[in-house]
Structures are given as structure tokens and as C-alpha cells.
Structure 1
Amino acid sequence: MTRTITAAVLDSCGGHARPYGTNMPFRLAQATLDDPLPGELLIRIDAAGLCHSDLSVVNGDRPRPMPMVIGHEASGIVEVLGSPDDAEFAVGDRVVLSFLPACGECVRCRSGEGYMCPNGAAANGEGRLLRGGVRLHEDGVDVHHHLGASAFATHAVVDRRSAVKVDADIPSEIAALFGCAVLTGVGAVMNSAALRPGESLVLYGLGGVGLAALLGAVAAGATPILAIDPSPQKRALAESQGAVAADPADAQAVLAALMPGGADVVVETVGKAVVLGEAYRSARRGGRIVTVGLPNPAERLDIPAVSLVAEGKALIGSYMGSSIPSRDIPRYIALWRAGRLPVEMLLTSVGPMSELNSLLDALADGRAIRQIIRPWPAQVL
């Protein structure tokens, strides 16, 4: 059985000229969506965030099979259970989607590292769901899934392991943020870096993930914090949370005065190899450098190999904030409820899916942090 949905379809990866608002890489289309298989859920998408990972598919930095419905940071309501006897989910539950469906059976999953699940990563790379194949189609042509979610649509079918049940009273636009920006940014600080109270931190990049990392660092007790970004508006947000903020041109001078010898922890969220190289140099001897940015695969990092031993530095890659969504999303929501993780500051705008192409320009220009898309007309929500 299938249903007709509205979805933002991307037909090609890369090759889209700016401005996106004029050249329209996304087109709104009527697609068909299959019912969920056992172990899957059909979700009515209420809110979806626009992330740099989405932009990276549009501009070709992250090649993916086409056509595709992208979008991976979202919240919604369970409408159909693939397994009617599912004990964890019920029709009407509010869920947050996560962008790696861990299989729960491989060595990485059994070792508590579901964010490194090779089966989930393979499914994401191939644009299919974890249980195989696609559920999206247009005029008889298969449409690929993005990171197991494909959230720029009125509905999505996802693996049950891609969904985390949350309280119904959380506003949908807030709930969506926990699926990527908060999960990745806060997780990079609390999980990957294992930041301890009183440690110093330098943060490169103040987009959605970067500002979430800043909130996580404040909640974890980092001091002092230096936040680096070219945007005066974003630096002002960082300063409102108690950080010292600097333009990239002034960053090394400010760092030398604030943290002689370098920082205990450095987090890089920009996704550029040259910035990661600077982040590496900003760490003290024995410091930890965590990178969550996604550079173009052609970029290469050049660091003195001897420094890893001679300076005792640790360079740590952080995918999904080294998070277990079913564990960490509830934890971070609890911090938000306690007032210790004010994720509302990440929200730039909330608007209809018809504005998606123009919103890409604001993201690419660095004018936006998190723009939330509502696939449904406001009067229907």
C-alpha cells in the first residue's frame, strides 16, 4: 500500500549555480511512499532543520545517489507502525529522528559504539533504509533516502532505530534540533572530548553544531571558552553565553593572551582542512582536538607527524557527537528543561517548505544558524 506525499526532491548532486533561490535545486513534487515494513515507522514530519550536511549534498561536497529527498534533522508524529505489536512506539508518539540507524547487532553496536555502525553507514551511503531498498518513488522511479530520514517531506518511513520517543509537550521546532545540531555539538564536547569542569576550550565555527557545542561546553563547566567565527552576530551570541569571541584574523593573538600554551580542548566544526590545522595548533601539549566538520573528501590535513607523540596531542574524529541517540537525546532534553541548554538560541527562522531553496542561500552565506522547515501549512498543524 502507498500514500501520496509532498516532498522536496533533489535531482542532482553538485553543479547548482548560486543563488539557489533563483536556480532552484529542490523542486516540490508529489511522491509515493510505501507503508513501513516490520521494524519501521511511518512518521508525519512536523519540523525539519536545514543543516550544512544538507548543503554539502546540494553543492557536491558529500556525493550521494540521486534523485533523493534529503533532510535528516527532524521531529514528527508516529502514524503507522510497521510492527503492530511494537512495545516501544505507539501511534501518536512524538519522536526525534537521528541520522544513523544503528543495527544493534554488529561488533561496533555491541561495543556501545552504535554511531560507528558499518551497516547503518552503508545504508546511508547507498541512499536506502537499513532493512534494504527504498520506500519513496516518483512516477515509477525510485527516490533515495537521505541518512535514513528524508525529512524534507510531509511524511517519511524510517527504521525504528532512527527514532527516539520524546515528550509530547516539546515544541516541534525545538525537538527537531536535538536530532543533529544538539546531538552532534553537545556530544562532541561531552562524549568525544570528555570535557571536565574547569578545562579550557577553543571552538572554531559558530553554526548550528558549533553553537550547540558552545552550549554543551558551558553546561559541562568549561572555562575559559574562546569562540572563533567571522560573523559578528554569531560572536555576540557566544558572548551572551559567557565566551570570549574573536574574528579568525585575531584568533591567535586572543588565544595567546587568554590561554598561554594553548587550550585543553579544541573543537572544530567548520569542515575545512585549513581550519582543522589551525585548531590542532591551538591545543596545548597533551590537549585534545575534536573535529566534527565535514570537509570535501579531496581536502587533506597537513600536520607535523612527530607532534602526535612529542606533544602528546590527541586528534579525535567525532561522528554524531559519539552519541547513542536513545541515551543522549533524553539527557540533553533534561538539560534543556533545567535551563542549562538553551537551544532556542539556535533558531534563526521557522517557515514553509516552499522557501527551502532561498533558505539554502542564507545557510551558504553564513547568515543563518538553524532554519526550521514546516512541511505542512500552518493551519493544518
Structure 2
Amino acid sequence: MGVADVRVRIVAAGVCHSDLSMQNGTVGVQYPVVLGHEASGVVVETGSDVSSISVGQNVVLNWAAPCRTCWFCHNGEPWLCSAVEGVTTVERGTLADGTPLNQGMGVGAFAEEVVVPAASVVPLPEGVPLDLAALLGCAVLTGVGAVRNTADVRPGESVLVIGQGGIGLAAVMGAKLAGADPIIAVDVSPDKESLSIAAGATHFLVSHPKLSKDVRALTEVRGVDHSFECVGAAATIRAAWGSTRRGGSCIIVGVGRKEQEVIFNPLELFHFSRTLTSSIYGASDPDRDVPVLAEDVRSGRLGLDDLVTHRITLEEIGDAFERMKSGQGARSIIKIG
């Protein structure tokens, strides 16, 4: 362990779609690799140069720790930090036979303990259950952050969220926190309706080719002020775009395959005057945003329990991936420590 590192005993880790994307080859990784990046735990050891973190402290792991020195960090966009751009695995540690080991997203949280740089550890404020706090490390920062930081949704504005996995449900929660109305949740599975309504959606629609027509019927024919695409597919991006009003914003949160293409014609880009952008990590700075989200949890405004449908062991990660592939449930939380 280096002088600027921290050893953390993992208490809980969420199974994220990004983990599935690395497992199935959508995102390339270096092997051998330990996946897992959405996690919480307790500090058990610190390097000699670490003064900001103490042994025994409850923490959330940050898989996109900014360097604080590059152009993006200096210009207020640490989620675009050059040091973490495109990084899917980081070589750290070895196997018993000396083979170099890689950590997924620089964390490798599907493990009993991890060693990470101190910058990858965010102290957890009191009042947040340590197991549920794992969700703050990715799903909640990404989903709520897309609503708050990227779109800056205002009370009374209309919101559409396509895809009701962990991040999509977190985006619905973020829209509720922002006072949006209506909040329209969409998924291919009718079984997601109860989860979406519990998260704060006012309406639920099953996805179909003419989805935008149904969305417009709920928004006085205009379309929504803000749409959030949380799937990462060409068809759902076009559906989100087509459901957004003139002058509204369409925000891509889902990570898709580079082989797919989304086509727009020049006339529609001019005519609709919509903004099309992505939201990377919810445009979040965990050092800034985790304390704010923790206060939302403490106050009861943000219910992390609503994101968890399965509590599992490390041995059941494969089952969690299978549920994710078939669109079942929301987040699976691995209880480790």
C-alpha cells in the first residue's frame, strides 16, 4: 500500500449496468479484473501521507476521482477530468502467482477489501445507512445529478425518463426532488411501473414505437421540457428526442455501443431548437454532492430503499447480471462486510 493510499473494508456494493457492460464486452477491460465500483465501507488503514481520512471512518468510494490539476478540473468540470477519461480498469496489486491484477473503474469493489488512492474515498456524513450508501457512489450521483446539475430542472417543469433501471429510477427521484410535474417514466417492462411510481413518477408508459405521441398527450401536445435517456440505444435516444418540446433539452445518460448510429436531419435540428447533450457521472463532484445527497437521505426526501430490489452475496453476482439482462428489478446490493 502506498503512502497516499487507503485500505477500505467493503460493507456493500451495488451491481451497476457498467459492470455488466464490462462483463459482456460492451466496454473493453484488461484481464484479470475485479469488477465493482459502486460501494461503501469502513477505512481500516491509511498511508503515512493521508491526513483527510481516518481509520474507522465510514466512506463512499469514488470511481472517477478527479486529479484537480488538469484543464477540466481547473475549469469546474471535474467529471470530465483528463486523468479518468476513458479509464475502465486500473492495474493495482497482483494475484498470488504474481500476475498483475486490474481493478474495474479503478475500484474493484466486488471484494472484501480494496486499496485505493485517498482521492477515491469520500467521507460519509452521519445518518445514512452504510449499506444503502453504496448507491451514492454511482446510481444516485448519476441519476439525480443529471436532473440537478446537467438539466437544472425547475419546479413545475415536465420530465421524461426512459429506462427504469437503477440510474433511471434515481433520475425519477431527482425529478421529484426538483418539483417536476409531470414525471413520466418509461420502460419496456410493465413490471417496472410500481418501482417507478414509488420513486416519484406521476405516469408510467410501456415503451413502443409511437411513444412520443403518448408523451405529448400528457404535456398539452408540446412534449416534455426535459427528457433523460437512461438506456444507451439509438431507438430510445430518438424516442427521447422526439418526446421533447421545441426549445427543451434531451439528455443522454445511458452508455451505448459505438456500432449504433443516431441520425438527425439538418432541418429538425434547426426547427426544434432542442439541446442534445450527455450527462457524464451526473456532472457530479462527489466531494461536493455526496454531503448534499446525504442530507436529502437524512431528511427523508430521498429514499434509497426504493432503489434496492435484491440483497445478495458475492456468489450471486451472476444472478444479478442475468436479472439486469432481462430487465428485472432495480439495484442489487451485495452485502459483504
**What is the TM-score normalised by the length of structure 1?**
0.84
Report 1:1-381 matches (<5 A): 35=1, 37-82=2-47, 84-121=48-85, 124-125=87-88, 127-128=89-90, 133-240=91-198, 241-249=200-208, 251-259=211-219, 260-376=221-337
- Give the secondary-structure state (helix, strand or coil) at the position aligned to 1:256: helix
Q: Is the 8 A contact 2:213 2:243 kept in 1?
A: no
User: What code does the residue aligned with 2:153 have?
Assistant: L
Find the aligned partners of 2:96 and 2:73 in 1 and give their Cα distance: 34
| Consecutive unaligned residues in structure 2, runs of 5 or more | none
Cα deviation 1:289-324 (Å, max 9, x = unaligned): 111101112111112234333321111111100000
Residues 72 and 99 of structure 1 are in contact (CA less than 8 Å); yes or no, is this contact kept in structure 2? yes
CA offsets per residue over residues 152-191 of structure 1, 9 Å max, x none?
A: 0011111222111013553222100100110000000000
- Paired residues of 1:307 and 1:313 also in contact (CA < 8 A): no
Q: Distance between the aligned counterparts of 1:214 and 1:72, measured in 2?
A: 22
* C-alpha contact (below 8 Å) 2:61/2:120 kept by paired residues: yes
Question: What is the identity percentage for the equivalent residue pairs of Structure 1 and Structure 2?
Answer: 37
Compared CA separation, residues 242 and 202, structure 1 to 2 (3 A):
closer
For the residue of structure 2 that corresponds to 1:62, the secondary structure is: coil
What TM-score, normalized by structure 2, do the two folds share? Answer: 0.95
Which residue number corresponds to residue 32 of structure 1?
A: none
Give the deviation of 1:271 after TM superposition: 1.4
- Kindly tell me: are residues 228 and 242 of structure 1, through their superposed partners in 2, closer, same or farther at Cα, counting changes over 3 Å? closer
Name segments (4+ residues, structure 1) moved above 4 Å: none
Residue identity in the other structure for 1:137: L
Corresponding pairs, count: 334
Q: 1:105 and 1:248, CA in 2 relative to 1: closer, same or farther beyond 3 A?
A: same
Q: CA RMSD in A?
A: 1.5
1:20-53 Cα shifts (integer Å, max 9, x gaps):
xxxxxxxxxxxxxxx2x13221111110000110
Task: Determine the C-alpha separation between the residues in 2 that align with 1:56 and 1:72.
Answer: 13
Could you say what secondary structure the match of 1:172 adopts?
A: coil
Q: Distance between the aligned counterparts of 1:202 and 1:230, measured in 2?
A: 14
Which whole-Å CA distance do the structure 1 matches of 2:212 and 2:65 have between them? 40
Which stretches in structure 1 are left out of the alignment for 5+ residues?
1-34, 377-381
Structure 2 counterpart of 1:247, one-letter code = V
Offset at 1:274?
Answer: 1.3
SS in 2 for 1:209: helix
When residues 197 and 153 of structure 1 are mapped into structure 2, their CA distance, relative to the original with a 3 A threshold, is same
Summarize deviations over 1:213-265 as a string: whole Å, max 9, x none. Answer: 00000000111111111222321222232420010126334212111121110
Residue-by-residue CA offset, 1:74-106 (whole Å, 9 max, x unaligned):
001111112x35331100111101221210100
SS, match of residue 185 in structure 1: helix
Distance 1:90 1:231 in 2: 45
